[in-house]
Amino acid sequence: MSQLIIKGGNKLQGDVIVNGAKNAAVAIIPASLLVDGVCEIENIPYIDDVIRVSEAIDTLGVSTEFIEKNTLKVDAREVLTYEATEECASKIRASYYLLGALLGRFKKVKVALPGGCNFGVRPIDQHIKGFEALGATVVVEHGIIHAWADKLIGTQIYLDVVSVGATINIMLAAVLAEGTTIIENAAKEPHVVDVANFLNMMGAVVKGAGTDTIRILGVEKLHGGKYSIIPDQIEAGTYMMAAAITGGDVTVRNLIPEHMESVSAKLIEMGVVIDEGDDYIRVRAPETLKPTNVKTLPHPGFPTDLQPQMAVLLSVAEGTSMIVEGVWDNRFQYIGELKRTGAQINVDGRVAVIEGVSKLTSAKLTATDLRAGAAMVIAGLVATGGETIINNAQYIDRGYEGIQENLVALGADVRRSVDEDKDRKLCDNVIEINCKQA
Ligand code: EPU
């Protein structure tokens, strides 16, 4: 098991550089299966989820190689099988992108049901609705999704819920389909736009990504090329919040300020001073944080993936705050752990009411998922009275490259204790359990 051990109380100061976006990378790597050529994907975060997705496409006979730490070369000129039923495919949520990519390329696919972070039911009915609308037959049996079609034909698809995964998956299936596909009520997240830009760079015709309506004009073939992934909005937001809670002064570099607008707006409401440049945001913390209310929503709303981190900030604000979780059914599971630091939070369904306290105290915590783990790190950075120990830190590594090193460079006291063998087994077991629950 991997642990992060944090002695809180240090003000974070200096610069931190944001890595490439995890949720763009885990979609773009499968998207490269559509390319009859060689793709060099730059600014890939070197994190567990990315490594697992590239392992999953390796099992299809595709050649993948990290030619530099953050550059992955994918040669998908030859793909030996359309079946991704190996164990590794089920270990990450994003393996569902193999469905759209392989269906798009071969018009047939078999993929083991995805695992991933556990915060309630994570259906894929909208993905399936999209594939069926394009003309595929989809059967789910014994944990395997099987889809096939003689040909895929462009059509109009209205998503009943705004889903990042369904929007991207339908885009993947549609780029090589015949005719025009229109996705209505599409997700507008920055990584949806990034996947569209990647596909367009390789010869696809995808228009309107970043709006409610995406139009995909099917082409016969995609060609290889180079692409650089956008910065990670959630990693950037996590560092912004870490700076704000510790009384710090941190410049978060290599981000896209427009992606951070909902986060900056909330921090400003809390009294934080935000200065934006072309590709950086400087965060200067106030003496005390003011309370505020937050509702998570699809982009451009406040991101659900920053909700746990925000809950920690609000826990030390001067007054009462409220968070409404507007995306996931069950994303307050971490609150019980967080309360061990003295945070005062009451949850009722999708609403958390937070009474600010004057300080958090150090505790032994267990990360329940990736973003909950990041929230616990933020709590540890301000907790007083000793060391905060965060168990299951391997969850945090799924999404944050070099988090410990980055925080130490900003002046935090963070060390790590690792038992790699146990770590791998624990992670695998938890993901298997989540998969059974999905
Ligand atoms: N939903 C359905 N049916 C579907 C798909 C989704 O009802 O077919 C519902 C979900 O239950 C949820 C909502 O729609 O209530 C949004 O789900 P979405 O499909 O947008 O989520 P996702 O694609 O599975 C991605 C990110 C998550 C992030 C969500 C929301 C990846 C690999 N994961 O998940 O990121 O929370 O979008 O922004 O892109 C994380 O990075 O920690 C993480 C969990």
Q: Using alpha carbons, list the distances in angstroms from residue 28 to 59, 100, 267, 297.
A: 17, 12, 31, 23
Whose Cα sits closest to atom 29 in ligand 1?
A: 164
Closest atom of ligand 1 to 189 CA is 38
- Residue 426: its pLDDT value, please? 40
- Residue 423: its pLDDT value, please? 46
- Residue 432: its pLDDT value, please? 35
- Residue 434: its pLDDT value, please? 33
Quickly state the pLDDT bin for 94 (edges 50, 70, 90).
Answer: confident
**pLDDT of 320 higher than 90:** yes
Dihedral sign for Cα atoms in the order 170, 173, 176, 178 = negative
* Cβ 22 vs Cβ 50: under 8 Å: yes
Backbone angles phi, psi at 386, to 5 degrees: 135, -155
In the predicted model, what is the mean pLDDT of the chain?
92
* Cβ 185 vs Cβ 158: under 8 Å: yes
Higher pLDDT, 104 or 435: 104
Higher pLDDT, 2 or 265: 265
Of 39, 88, 117, 435, which residue is the catalytic one?
A: 117
Compute, in angstroms, the gap from residue 164 CA to the centroid of ligand 1. 6
239 conformational bin, left if phi > 0, alpha if psi -120 to 50, beta if neither: alpha
| Helix (H), strand (E) at residue 142 | none
- Cα gap 64→76, rounded to integer Å: 9
- Cα gap 391→377, rounded to integer Å: 11
- Residue 85: its pLDDT value, please? 75
For ligand 1, mutation pick of 19, 23, 145, 297 (most atoms within 8 Å of CB): 23
- Integer-rounded Cα Rg, in Å, for the chain is 21
Give the strand pairing for 205-207 and 214-217. antiparallel
Helices (H) and strands (E) in the chain, counts: 14, 24
Among candidates 223, 225, 231, which has minimal Cα distance to 258? 231
Among candidates 156, 167, 113, 114, which has minimal Cα distance to 134? 156
What is the CB < 6 Å shell around ligand 1? Answer: 23, 26, 93-94, 117, 122-127, 161, 163-166, 187, 304-305, 327-328, 370-371, 399
Q: Using alpha carbons, list the distances in angstroms from residue 305 to 8, 156, 192.
A: 23, 30, 15
- Cα gap 88→237, rounded to integer Å: 30
Quickly state the pLDDT bin for 118 (edges 50, 70, 90).
Answer: low
CATH code 3.65.10.10 region(s) in the chain: 3-19+231-437, 22-228
CATH number for 3-19+231-437: choose from 3.65.10.10, 2.40.50.140, 3.40.50.720, 2.60.15.10.
Answer: 3.65.10.10
Compute, in angstroms, the gap from residue 277 CA to the centroid of ligand 1. 30
* Cβ 354 vs Cβ 395: under 8 Å: no
- Cα gap 422→435, rounded to integer Å: 20
**pLDDT of 307 higher than 80:** yes
How many other C-beta atoms can be found within 10 angstroms of the C-beta atom of residue 431?
A: 22
Buried b (16+ CB within 10 A) or exposed e, 183-200: bebbbbbbbbbbbbbbbb
pTM more than 0.75: yes
Report the SS3 class of residue 30: helix
Name the residue type at position 371. R
Which two structure tokens, joined as six digits, stand for 410? 């900003």
Report the SS3 class of residue 338: helix
- Report the range out of 54-58, 95-99, 120-124, 168-172 with the highest average pLDDT: 168-172
Asked which of 34-48, 58-72, 145-159, 408-422 is least confident by mean pLDDT, the reply is 408-422
Report the SS3 class of residue 389: strand
- Cα gap 229→366, rounded to integer Å: 31
Does 22-228 carry CATH code 3.65.10.10? yes
Q: Which residues contact 266 (CB under 8 A, 6 or more apart)?
A: 292, 294, 302, 310
Give the strand pairing for 225-228 and 38-42. parallel
Name the residue type at position 76. A
For ligand 1, mutation pick of 128, 129, 164 (most atoms within 8 Å of CB): 164
The number of angstroms, rounded, from the C-alpha of 246 to the middle of its chain's C-alpha atoms is 24
* Cβ 117 vs Cβ 370: under 8 Å: yes
Quickly state the pLDDT bin for 87 (edges 50, 70, 90).
Answer: low
Among candidates 110, 91, 3, which has minimal Cα distance to 50? 91
Closest atom of ligand 1 to 168 CA is 23
Is 39 one of the annotated active-site residues of the chain?
A: no
Encode pLDDT of 1-13 as tens digits: 799 999 999 999 9
Whose Cα sits closest to atom 18 in ligand 1?
A: 163
The mean per-residue pLDDT over the stretch 329-356 comes to 97
